[in-house]
Structure 1
Amino acid sequence: MTPQLDDTDRALIAALQSNARLPVADLARSLGLARTTVQARLERLERSGAIVGYTLRLGEAARAPLHATALVNIELRAGPAVLARLRSLPAVQVVHTTSGRFDLLVQIAAQTTQELDETLDRIGETRGVKGSESLIHLSTKIDRRD
């Protein structure tokens, strides 16, 4: 079931994306609603799956300093084994399947160039990987992640 969100739901979600630790009373005050109304909406959004959890976003000082993207080509039917290997590499943060020239887009975060290099080597030597191309992130110009 896809939840139907109205403008108030979207405003509530935006406030939580900015700071998920805001007390319900503060959320209610900022939205001009009763605290019980906000609490009921939060419960409905959680039940419907629109909100699936609350998380911590790290600041610059706590994030890994090096980030890279590996574009990976894999052999036919090698997906499950390659994904299992990628899952075992601590520096691998996110893996997306893609359309086009590459099969997987692998996002990596590392503390050192050595850790990044070793992670890229582990990806390249994985059984079922035909080839890869890596892109080291230099700076972030836009970041709209939730």
Structure 2
Amino acid sequence: MSDPLDPVNRKILAELLANGRIPMSDLAEKVGLSKTPVSLRVRQMEEAGLITGYRAILSPMKLGLTHVTYVEVKMSDTRQSALDKFNEAVRAIAEVEECYMIAGGYDYLLKVRSRDMVHFRQIMAEKISSLPFLHATSSFVAMEAVVEQNWTPP
């Protein structure tokens, strides 16, 4: 595959993002190719690591997880061994939807989903505050999601 994101592959990816369970015959029809070349392209993108998997996307709202808080985390130790321990521990907290190592005044940014402020406070007290090498946190409550979507290739 010389250009992994040629126009046809971009169409395939857009369709798969909209419906990861689409039958290959339907996908082929939507992108204007026959089933065999589309199947080959999908397999090549999987093997190249462009497609890393397929999963169900759950609705946080329907699950009652309507409260989003962003938490900045400052570490007491930023040596690699400390970062590795923090990374492993934060991955085990189900309510942490996203975690990024960042540059600036803090070391990490967490996106935490909860039912409400009481639930968030419980997550902070029982889970986040006990993360290894955590020195300080600062929290920001989201009031409204203006843009919230999966990434699509340009």
Classify the TM-score, shorter chain: 0.7 to 0.9
Cα RMSD of the aligned pairs, angstroms, is 2.0
Deviations 1:42-84 (A, max 9, x none): 1111111111111112234236211111001001233233333
Q: 1:3·1:49 contact (CA, 8 Å) conserved in 2?
A: no
Q: Which residue in the other structure is 1:14 paired with?
A: 14
CA distance in 1, matches of 2:20, 2:108: 31
Matches of 1:40 and 1:69 in 2, distance apart? 41
**Greater CA drift, 82-91 or 31-40:** 82-91
What does residue 74 of structure 2 align with?
73
Aligned residue for 1:30?
A: 30
Contact preservation (8 Å) 2:4, 2:45: no
**Cα pair distance change 1:125/1:39, threshold 3 Å:** closer
Q: TM-score, normalised by structure 2?
A: 0.83
Aligned length: 145
Overall identity of the aligned pairs, in %: 22
Distance 1:57 1:47 in 2: 23
Secondary structure (helix, strand or coil) at the match of 1:61 reads coil
Which runs of 5 or more residues in structure 2 are unaligned? none
Extract structure 1 runs of 4+ deviating beyond 4 A.
Answer: none
Q: 1:110 aligns with which of 105, 110, 114?
A: 114
Amino acid at match of 1:62: L
Relative distance call for 1:97 and 1:44 in structure 2 (3 A) is same
Whichever residue aligns with residue 150 of structure 2, its letter is R
